[in-house]
Amino acid sequence: MNLLIDIGNTRIKWAIQSNQDLVLTGALVHLNHPDLSTLLDQCWQALERPVNVLVSNVAGQHFQHIVAKWSMQTWGRAPEFVTVKSGDFKLMSKYSIQSLGIDRWMALLGLYGRFSLPAIVVDCGSAVTTDALNSTGMHTGGLIMPGLTMMKNALFKGTCVQPVSSGYAGHKIGVDTDGAIQSGTVNAICGMIDRFVLLLEQQDCINPKIVLTGGDAQSIAEELGRPVTIEPDLVLLGLMRIANQV
């Protein structure tokens, strides 16, 4: 079996690959955790020794070192930390490969060959990223903005506004400060997605399929007002394509 690991800025997700399926998926928050080695015990201590361990990591070298050490001590397996390689599965990119996050590339690999093209993937995580694949499978670029929690935290840090609990306003105009913040942040992301689709329609004359992933995907999908598909394991699906070549 292969263990596939997606280390994001806030959460760590994993899945066991069995043939062409993902099984035994799980996720835990790692951000600000006091003991990452203990957290990894909670994640994987009960698993059988995997044949291969493949990792997509955007949480930095320190976390990468801890995962590598834990895997070697527990299973005697050195993980493979995948990197961005334009040309994987004939997937090409106009984007600067040196600055393209591995999570975005794995999500594109997960998208490519699984969904009809042209398409965009919107990762609604700590940051929100949009990336487009045209009808030939070329990654034509994307947009990046802060995610829901990051936008709210920036507002609370930079102003005297304090969060209160009054419920979620959805797409409606807020009638109190908390509702206005909740609605404003969601609408900011929905507006970016709408604008991205408009730019693609104007520049490339395409009407892309929209695929959402990430922890806030459901909240955004409910307010976007466009047909979307939610695929929560898109990065892991990209890792599975890499694992099939190992």
For residue 103, indicate whether it is catalytic: yes
Q: How far apart are CA 67 and CA 22, in angstroms?
A: 21
The secondary structure of 79-133 as a DSSP string is -EE----TTGGG-EESS-GGGS-HHHHHHHHHHBTTB-SSEEEEEESSEEEEEEE
Q: Which position among 21, 41, 88, 103 bears the catalytic label?
A: 103
175, 197 Cβ separation under 8 angstroms: no
Phi and psi of 71, rounded to 5°?
A: -65, -40
DSSP 160: S
Active site residues: 103
